[in-house]
Structure 1
Amino acid sequence: MIKGYFLPSAEGNLFVSQYGQTNPQKTILLLPSIFEELNLSRAIVAKQALFLAKQGYSVFALDYLGTGDSEKEIEQVNAAIWRENIICVAQWLKSLGIENITLWGLRFGGLLALRELQTINQILPVKDVLLWKPVTKGKQFMTQFLRLKQANSMMQGEQKVNWRERIMSGVNVEVAGYEISSDLLASIDNLEVSKSLNLPCPVTWFELASASITPAVAIQTKEWDQQFLKIVCFEGSAFWQIPEIFEQSQLHQPTLNALQGEL
């Protein structure tokens, strides 16, 4: 079963997809990535959600404002609005009688999940967190994204440009089909996961497309409560970056195992 809902928020209507029958004790809130990563991972995420639905879970997938089927254009929103979107959906799930949730964050969605974890937990108890290759620094994420613009402009024979500087001067710049404003860029740049993050619940971190835990991940999580943290590496493709990858069934069972505490 797949349903769609439009939820009113302060900035516009949010679109939320539901996979599976509503289950107050087995509910997952999916926070996807953004920009092209959202599009490239959509089919894989949907198949994972359908697999979990068959196991009795209900998966609610959020389209942040300015993305997917939600209202607004990307240049009209920022990360602060996206964080408010997540709180809005958490309150809505509580109104449905949901008793607790699992937060599932993919890439940039993982960053948002960790930043809003404490706030969400006050609204609706967070049973656990599942992270798929989470971003931990917004500025680093945007630096990589802006490289697409740099590579494209140099292929056109243009001179090298400091695109971050140009955007922050107030000029909107199109990057891979997305209009990036100074407000949006600054809001993402300012997001970062604390190295001393207090974990109120178990967190399973899937380090995808990696054979081992990288030094950056080890440093990021060194001070986290290791009793609550499990990091699992999976070799394979970085599907959020590569077009025409629509199947990652090797993640289906491990994801279910993580939710059931059996990894």
Structure 2
Amino acid sequence: MTAGAIEARAEPFFLQRTRGQLFCLYHPPRGDCRGVILYVPPFAEEMNRARRIAAQQARELAALGYGVLQPDLAGTGDSSGDFADARWETWKDDLAACCAWLGERIAHPPVLWGLRLGALLALDYAQAAAHSLRALLLWQPVTSGQAYLTQFLRMRTVNAVLADNASEQTGTRALRAALQSGDILEIGGYALDPALAAAIDALAPLERHTPPCPVHWFEMAAHSADKAGQVLPPGAARAAEAWRSRHARLQVHPVDCPPFWAAGEGVGAPALLAATSALLREDRLGH
């Protein structure tokens, strides 16, 4: 079967929620079902820039026998609500609803597959999930919500400098103060509500989490080696060491891959797609 035929099998639908509906794309498993996977998208514009790669990976996983669900979380994409209405706890409720939808159709504990801030959301959800999880697939997880929010806020300052708009050239400290005062900030075309910003800011750093299931960490920004010999930048290495000290079942997969979530359409991720597909093909999730 050609790649186009595989893509044609994806099923778009709206998952009804009490406050609206979530747009979802479901890739049914081909052949005998080997499991189900829930994609947890990254934040703001990173979600849009990663769509092509995520969809390509979903199709490959479906071809391997996995049912893959790709939702737009509340307030994002084609789901109900505006980005200004988005809340961290609401997104976790959305993940629960998606897991329930999958569970009604295929009797397998889901794998959560998260990218960037979506990886941290998947991990946060997993620690209090009311159901079992088979594994976590973390693509370039954000290691600190606070640092990530600072980076996101910095976009406004950088854009103001590029536009030579002196009235908008404020630092992240001033932007945080505005959020704490209750102001909604427009950052890169996204209206950031203070409640969502505060929730991201208050997230425990990655090393303070304890994964409740096997974790496969795909790291694409390698700098130094951790104790197990994998290549990790310092923040990620600290998290990996902390998890292993608490006997977490962790496997790190260094891959040569550009930051496609921050790049244009022409950037691919062949090594990442191949490594993820190989893991699922060989059914090494439980390692």
Report the TM-score when normalising by structure 1. Answer: 0.91
Aligned to 2:3: none
2:29 matched to 1:21? Answer: yes
Identity across matched positions, percent? 32
Q: CA deviation at 1:232?
A: 1.7
- CA deviation profile, 1:182-223 (whole Å, cap 9, x unmatched): 122112212234524333321110011325311111112222
Choose from 129, 152, 156 the match for 1:149.
156
CA gap of 1:95–1:89, structure 2 versus 1, over 3 A, is same
SS at match of 1:27: strand
2:197 matched to 1:171? Answer: no
Structure 2 residue runs without a partner (length 5+): 1-8, 224-230
CA gap of 1:236–1:243, structure 2 versus 1, over 3 A, is same
8 Å CA contact 1:28, 1:60 repeated in 2: yes
Relative to structure 2, which stretch is displaced further, 41-50 or 201-210? 201-210
CA gap of 1:216–1:244, structure 2 versus 1, over 3 A, is same
Choose from 5, 10, 15 the match for 2:18.
10
Relative to structure 2, which stretch is displaced further, 185-194 or 73-82? 185-194
Q: How far, CA to CA, are the matches of 2:144 and 2:19 in structure 1?
A: 25
CA gap of 1:149–1:60, structure 2 versus 1, over 3 A, is same
Q: How far, CA to CA, are the matches of 1:167 and 1:30 in structure 2?
A: 29
Choose from 228, 235, 242 the match for 1:216.
235
Question: How do residues 192-231 of structure 1 correspond to structure 2 at under 5 angstroms?
Answer: 192-193=204-205, 195-210=207-222, 212-225=231-244, 228-231=249-252
CA gap of 1:196–1:35, structure 2 versus 1, over 3 A, is closer
Aligned to 1:184: 196
Q: CA deviation at 1:246?
A: 4.7
8 Å CA contact 2:36, 2:102 repeated in 1: no
- CA deviation profile, 1:151-175 (whole Å, cap 9, x unmatched): 1112324154221211221222211
Q: CA deviation at 1:118?
A: 3.1
Q: How far, CA to CA, are the matches of 2:259 and 2:206 in structure 1?
A: 25
Q: How far, CA to CA, are the matches of 1:158 and 1:98 in structure 2?
A: 57
2:177 matched to 1:158? Answer: no
Choose from 57, 70, 78 the match for 1:69.
78
2:258 matched to 1:237? Answer: yes
Question: How do residues 12-161 of structure 1 correspond to structure 2 at under 5 angstroms?
Answer: 12-21=20-29, 25-120=34-129, 122-123=130-131, 125-155=132-162, 156-158=164-166, 160-161=169-170
Structure 1 residue runs without a partner (length 5+): none
Q: How far, CA to CA, are the matches of 1:81 and 1:88 in structure 2?
A: 11
CA gap of 1:185–1:223, structure 2 versus 1, over 3 A, is same
Relative to structure 2, which stretch is displaced further, 131-140 or 241-250? 241-250
8 Å CA contact 1:14, 1:70 repeated in 2: yes
Aligned to 1:254: 275
8 Å CA contact 2:29, 2:62 repeated in 1: yes
SS at match of 1:13: strand
RMSD in angstroms over aligned alpha carbons?
2.0
Q: How far, CA to CA, are the matches of 1:199 and 1:191 in structure 2?
A: 15
Q: How far, CA to CA, are the matches of 1:107 and 1:196 in structure 2?
A: 17
SS at match of 2:261: coil
**Could you say which structure has the greater relative contact order, defined with CA pairs below 8 angstroms and 6 or more residues apart?**
1
Relative to structure 2, which stretch is displaced further, 135-144 or 16-25? 16-25
Q: How far, CA to CA, are the matches of 1:197 and 1:187 in structure 2?
A: 16
8 Å CA contact 1:34, 1:67 repeated in 2: no
- CA deviation profile, 1:120-162 (whole Å, cap 9, x unmatched): 3x32x31111110011322211111111100111232415422
